[in-house]
Amino acid sequence: MGPARSEVLQGTLDLMVLKALDALGPLHGYGIARRLEQLSEEVLKLNEGTVYASLLRLGQNGWIRSEWGVSENKRKARFYSITKAGRKQLAREADNWRRISAVVARVLESA
């Protein structure tokens, strides 16, 4: 069943969503999904619905906010944008991530 897969992804998915909002400005859920698809070069196959779970978590932490706007196809859509707290969190997490991935890379190379 589903939960196991999404749990592994949770942390990184949140980080990627935050990064996308930081880089591209306000996006709706569909936009975020496309951005992730594009960035990960199809390596990351995910149920797009999980993006909304991630958005919910980020919103509850106050790292993003949302408002209603009009989408490309002229329909009402909810746009998400990153907050100041979100930027701080992103910097912190990105730092963390870089450190960990550097360590992991070193370990793998030396072995």
Instruction: State the residues that interact with another protein by CB under 8 A.
Output: 1-3, 28-30, 33, 47-50, 52-53, 56-57, 60-62, 71-73, 75-78, 85
CB 90 to another protein: min, Å: 14
SS3 category, 42: coil
> Distance (Å, rounded) from C-alpha 105 to C-alpha 65?
35
CB 57 to another protein: min, Å: 7
DSSP 59-90: HHTTSEEEEEEE-TTS-EEEEEEE-HHHHHHH
C-beta closer to another protein: residue 19 or 33: 33
C-beta closer to another protein: residue 44 or 105: 44
